[in-house]
Structure formats: structure tokens, C-alpha cells
């Protein structure tokens, strides 16, 4: 069968750019904003980032909120998994870019970080739609449907449990900030907070930061793709800290492991007498 | 209620457990490895007793391959060692290498891009899951139930969306290379129910949708026939594709940035300009 390759032929050796680009000698544009004339010195890093992703330059209020989210995800505690990986990069003398991005990549996880938003976005959307159409009782019904037999998590509710602790101390801090910034609670966050009341009473679980971020961003018209793109690097602060701490410490200094610190559970070891000879 | 934050009552393991590796400690220093064992076998002994493909299969499964598995595994290792010269992952390492990215970053760059759900590791995982779930179904029924996807695939811009994970069109056509690979694998392997199921599926897909095997579906079906669980699909695909990415990285690291095309000003067309 003859294939129609017209779409691809049109794009060979040509780029049709919607976002912007660089015209040498004339300047750089991002969504019709001049990088040099309109953005440098006039907007914050997060305003620029959101412009690049969404095509809309947000006001400083929203940029302040994003700054606060990034700060709230920057615990410089090496025990946090992403940070441990950054620290391991430091001990292994990995380059800053490789060590830190390896830590950030670990946050592409089903359990935490930007990866977890893939399941939080549809769940928060479901809560909002259910609350709007069927009211509070439908949220109660969902709270029953999500019970698990897991010994760790009583419910499977993306955006509402945290692996290490019950509750999330960052959420009240950000809720207070958003009130101070005059952001109103709209339908997604409203449904999430209603749902939190139910599951806190039943299971002692609360809204987590991922759930809060998603609910807020959906309320302010960010699409799923835009949420995932903007949040891709959000954990970086703690990883930077952990990387540099261990780059500046001796190799092997992070929780040194002896051979017997790894527990072998496999088939019997076939030791031959010659294995015991001196090397 | 908001001030209640407490550690979850979870018991963490004291140590990492592994059923694969055992490092015996050097008698003068407990941090140093004296001998290394893999599934109970000494690496020192395996170095002279087995070929690399046998060892790799053993490492991944804890069992040495049967003659049939060895033939299929070896063919797969060679067949998809290059997932495509123009695959986004290979293009990524070519650009990074020629633009002088530190060489130690080239494989991670290629493998990250290879992680995608379009012709990448995530698609292999999805494909293995899909094949496992549907292998007892009649391929004709599966296609009939997905008529809406087929119709959508007639839209040229959307034709790159895969009808089933691992199966679809490339550049509006049936990709002949994975089809050739499938024929070769089917010709040399026995006990290959997943490859045969997919071969049947592809027969109808070609007829009704001008779509067929993709490299991801081929890897998925073959890995299932080798006994791997669908959850291992992403990692194994990245592993299998690494030699090709490494070779491109090595080749392009020797060149400079002018050995890449750079799109001229007149061919960079802004569709939103001030």
C-alpha cells in the first residue's frame, strides 16, 4: 500500500516553532515576549518558566506561590530518597549536572515527586466532578471505595497519603500563603479539602503536598501536561544541598556499607577451596 | 486537626536483602569484597565456564537458558541492539556526543529518552502487559473492538498513535524492519506462543489498518516467550538497546559539532511572531 508521507516531508529540514526562537542579531522571543526587552530584569524565574510552558506570563502573585512550592520541596535532608541519590553522586564525584539530575529523576516516582502527579491529577479531577455533580455524599462513597488491605496505607487515594508520615506540614503553610496572596479556594481544592475532612475522620489521613499542588493548579486552569512540565525539577533544592555536602566529603563517607550489611537470601553459595586462596 | 503530623507506623528493614549477589568479605577488612557470587555461582568460575549471553540470562533469571531460550535470547540481543539509527534515543546521543557532552553522560541521556511510551521502554512494558492479558483472545475480535482507534489512525497527524501498545504505524506505513526481525525470531525459536499470537494480530492489522509490528511490540513478545514478567519490560528494553547507543556515542564523540546539521535561519519558521 502506498503510504502518505506528506506530513513528514513538509517537516524535513524545517522547524515550525510555536513557542519562540532565536533570530541572530534580532533577538530571542518566547511567546511574543522579547527575552532581552520584556523579560530580563522584569520577571522572576518562575514567571519565565510558566510563560515558556503555557504561553501566558503569570503575575507575580502566582510566581510567588510557585517559589513557595519549590522551597517547600527543598528539604536539605540526605535521608530523603532523591537527596540520597544526589549525595551518592557527590561521593562518586559525579558531575554536578549528572549527580543532581539523577536525584531529580528519582522524583519521577509512583510514590512521590512529579511522577506521583500522574495519578493525583485524575483522582483530584474525579473528586471535583463527583462533588459538583453528586455532592458531599459522593465523596463519602469514594472514601469507602479506596480502602486497601495494605498494612502501610489504609487507603489508595493519590494526593492524600505520604509514605513516611501521616499528614503533610507543608500544606497548611501553603494554604496560609495562598490566603495571604488572596487566592480563593475553587472547585478542585474545595473538593479536595472536603474529602480530606472525611478521610481524616475515618483513617487519620490528610491532603499531601502533591494533592494540594494539583488541586490548586487545576483550579487555576493549568492542564495536566503543563502541571507535569512545570513541576519536573521542583525537588531540586534538597538535591543540590545533598550533592554538594558529599562532593565536599571523602568518598565512601555516606553510610559506609560492609559486605555483611547486604543480606544475601539466594541459593546456596558454591564456595570452592580455591576461592579462599589469597588474591 | 492540621497540627497532627506523625511518623507512619512502618517498620523499615535493617539491611538491604538480595537474592542475586553475595560479596564475601576480605578477612582483613569487612568493607572489601574478596569473592563475588551471582545466584550462588562464583563470578570467577562463570568467567570461564559460560558465554556472555548465557551468563546474562542467568543473571536476569537465576536459570541458565535452555538451548531454545539461548537461540532466541541471542537473536534478540543482536536484533534490537540498535533500536533504530533515527530513533529519538539514538538521535539524542548523536547530538550530545558531537556537541561534546561529557562522554559519561551519553548513555544516561540515550536511555532517558528511550524510556518513553512512544517506541520506548514504557511502551515495551505496556505491550508486555497487553499481550499477557490478551494472548488467549481472537486477534480479529480485538481489532473489531478497537475500530474507533483504527479510524482515528487514518488521520495523518494522529496516525503515529499506536493502535495497541507495541503495534501501529510508522510514517503512515507498516514498518518492514520489525516484521523482518519477527520472521527471523519465529524461524529460529520454538515454544513461542506470544510471538505467534502477535504474528496473527499483525496479519489482520496490516490488512485493516495499514499498521503492524513496532520494535517495542517485537521486544515485548519475545521477552514474554523467554519467560520474563511484563514488569521487567522497560528495564530489559533499555538493557538490550544499550550496545547500539554506546556504539553511536563512541562514533560521534570523535567528531565535532559541525558534523551535525544545524537548521538555517530561513528554515526555522516562527508560527507566532511579534
Q: What gap in Å lies between CA B89 and CA B95, rounded to an integer?
A: 10
Asked if B272 lies within 8 A of A18 by C-beta distance, the reply is yes
- Cross-strand bridge partners of residue A21: A29
The answer to whether residues B186 and B192 touch, using CB atoms and an 8 Å cutoff, is: yes
pLDDT score of A166 = 87
Quick one: which of A126, A208, A128 has its CA closest to A174?
A208
**Is the minimum CB–CB distance between B173 and chain A shorter than 8 Å?**
yes
- Cross-strand bridge partners of residue B38: B21, B41
The answer to whether residues A103 and A86 touch, using CB atoms and an 8 Å cutoff, is: yes
Asked if A257 lies within 8 A of B263 by C-beta distance, the reply is no
Contacts of B33 in chain A (CB under 8 A): 259
Asked if A266 lies within 8 A of B19 by C-beta distance, the reply is yes
Asked if A15 lies within 8 A of B263 by C-beta distance, the reply is yes
Residues 8-27 of chain B with CB under 8 A from chain A are 8, 10, 15-26
pLDDT score of B158 = 73
Contacts of A272 in chain B (CB under 8 A): 42, 45
pLDDT score of B9 = 82
Q: Is the pLDDT of residue A102 over 50?
A: yes
Asked if A98 lies within 8 A of B19 by C-beta distance, the reply is no
Contacts of A29 in chain B (CB under 8 A): 270, 273-274
Asked if A15 lies within 8 A of B272 by C-beta distance, the reply is no
Q: For residue B269, what is the nearest residue in chain A, using CA coordinates?
A: A16
Residues 140-169 of chain B with CB under 8 A from chain A are 156-157
pLDDT score of B274 = 46
Contacts of B20 in chain A (CB under 8 A): 266
Quick one: which of A20, A37, A18, A38 has its CA closest to A29?
A20
Q: What are the cell numbers at B13?
A: 528493614
Q: Over the stretch B219-249, which tens digit does the pLDDT of each residue have?
A: 999 999 999 999 999 999 999 999 999 999 9
Asked if A265 lies within 8 A of B18 by C-beta distance, the reply is yes
Residue with cell 508521507: A5
Q: What are the cell numbers at B230?
A: 511484563
pLDDT tens for chain B, 274 residues: list them: 445 678 888 889 999 999 999 999 999 999 999 999 999 999 999 999 999 999 999 999 999 999 999 999 999 999 999 999 999 999 999 999 999 999 999 999 999 999 999 999 999 999 999 999 999 999 999 999 988 777 666 677 777 788 899 999 999 899 999 999 999 999 999 999 999 999 999 999 999 888 999 999 999 999 999 999 999 999 999 999 999 999 999 999 999 999 999 999 999 999 874 4
pLDDT score of A244 = 98
ipTM exceeding cut-off 0.90 for this assembly: yes
Asked if B6 lies within 8 A of A265 by C-beta distance, the reply is no
Portion of chain A with pLDDT greater than 90, in percent: 92
**Is the minimum CB–CB distance between B171 and chain A shorter than 8 Å?**
yes
* Closest approach of A259 to chain B, Cα-based (Å): 6
Nearest CB to B16: which of A98, A206, A262? A262
Nearest CB to A259: which of B3, B33, B62? B33
Asked if A105 lies within 8 A of B24 by C-beta distance, the reply is no
Q: For residue B274, what is the nearest residue in chain A, using CA coordinates?
A: A32
Asked if A3 lies within 8 A of B210 by C-beta distance, the reply is yes
Amino acid at each position: 500500500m502506498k503510504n502518505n508521507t506528506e506530513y513528514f516531508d513538509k517537516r524535513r529540514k524545517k522547524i515550525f516553532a510555536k513557542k519562540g526562537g532565536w533570530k541572530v542579531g534580532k533577538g530571542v522571543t518566547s511567546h511574543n515576549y522579547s527575552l532581552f526587552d520584556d523579560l530580563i530584569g522584569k520577571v522572576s524565574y518562575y514567571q519565565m518558566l510558566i510563560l515558556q510552558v503555557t504561553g501566558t506570563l503569570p503575575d507575580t502573585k502566582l510566581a510567588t506561590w510557585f517559589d513557595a512550592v519549590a522551597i517547600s520541596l527543598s528539604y536539605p535532608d540526605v535521608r530523603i530518597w532523591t537527596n540520597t541519590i544526589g549525595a551518592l553522586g557527590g561521593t562518586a564525584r559525579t558531575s554536578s549536572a549528572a549527580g543532581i539530575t539523577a536525584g531529580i529523576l528519582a522524583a519521577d516516582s509512583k510514590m512521590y515527586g512529579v511522577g506521583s502527579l500522574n495519578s493525583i491529577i485524575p483522582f483530584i479531577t474525579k473528586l471535583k466532578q463527583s462533588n459538583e455533580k453528586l455532592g458531599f455524599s459522593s465523596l463519602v462513597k469514594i472514601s469507602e471505595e479506596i480502602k486497601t488491605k495494605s498494612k502501610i496505607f489504609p487507603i489508595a487515594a493519590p494526593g492524600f497519603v505520604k509514605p513516611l508520615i501521616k499528614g503533610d506540614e507543608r500544606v497548611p503553610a501553603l494554604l496560609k500563603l495562598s490566603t495571604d496572596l488572596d487566592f480563593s479556594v475553587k472547585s478542585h481544592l474545595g473538593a479536595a479539602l472536603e474529602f480530606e475532612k472525611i478521610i481524616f475522620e475515618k483513617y487519620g489521613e490528610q491532603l499531601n503536598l502533591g494533592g494540594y499542588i494539583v488541586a490548586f493548579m487545576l483550579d487555576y486552569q493549568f492542564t495536566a501536561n503543563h502541571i507535569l512540565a512545570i513541576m519536573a525539577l521542583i525537588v531540586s533544592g534538597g538535591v543540590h544541598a545533598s550533592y554538594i555536602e558529599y562532593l565536599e566529603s571523602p568518598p565512601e563517607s555516606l553510610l559506609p556499607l560492609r559486605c555483611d550489611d547486604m543480606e544475601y537470601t539466594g541459593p546456596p553459595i558454591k564456595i570452592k577451596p580455591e576461592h579462599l586462596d589469597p588474591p | 486537626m492540621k497540627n497532627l503530623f506523625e511518623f507512619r507506623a512502618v517498620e523499615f528493614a535493617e539491611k538491604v536483602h538480595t537474592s542475586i549477589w553475595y560479596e564475601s568479605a576480605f578477612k582483613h577488612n569487612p568493607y572489601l569484597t574478596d569473592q563475588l557470587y551471582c545466584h550462588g555461582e562464583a563470578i570467577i568460575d562463570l568467567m570461564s565456564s559460560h558465554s556472555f549471553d548465557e551468563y546474562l540470562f542467568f543473571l536476569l533469571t537465576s536459570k541458565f537458558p535452555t538451548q531454545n531460550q539461548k537461540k532466541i535470547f541471542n537473536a534478540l540481543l543482536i536484533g534490537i541492539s540498535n533500536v533504530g539509527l533515527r530513533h529519538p534515543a539514538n538521535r539524542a546521543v548523536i547530538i550530545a556526543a558531537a556537541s561534546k557532552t561529557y562522554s559519561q553522560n551519553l548513555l544516561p541521556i540515550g536511555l532517558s529518552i528511550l524510556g518513553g511510551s512512544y517506541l520506548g521502554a514504557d511502551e515495551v512494558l505496556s505491550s508486555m502487559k497487553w499481550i499477557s492479558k490478551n494472548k488467549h483472545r481472537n486477534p480479529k475480535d480485538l481489532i473489531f473492538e478497537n475500530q474507533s482507534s483504527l479510524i482515528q489512525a487514518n488521520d495523518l497527524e494522529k496516525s503515529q498513535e499506536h493502535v495497541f501498545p507495541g503495534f501501529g504505524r510508522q510514517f503512515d506505513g507498516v514498518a518492514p524492519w520489525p516484521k523482518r526481525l519477527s520472521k527471523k525470531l519465529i524461524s529460529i525459536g520454538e515454544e513461542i506462543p506470544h510471538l505467534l499470537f502477535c504474528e496473527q494480530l499483525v496479519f489482520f492489522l496490516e490488512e485493516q489498518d495499514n499498521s503492524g509490528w513496532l520494535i517495542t511490540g517485537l521486544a515485548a513478545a519475545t521477552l514474554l516467550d523467554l519467560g520474563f514478567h511484563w514488569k521487567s519490560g522497560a528495564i530489559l528494553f533499555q538493557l538490550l538497546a544499550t550496545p547500539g547507543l554506546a556504539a553511536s556515542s563512541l562514533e560521534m564523540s570523535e567528531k565535532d559539532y559541525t558534523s551535525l546539521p544545524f537548521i538555517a535561519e530561513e528554515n526555522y519558521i516562527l508560527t507566532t511572531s511579534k
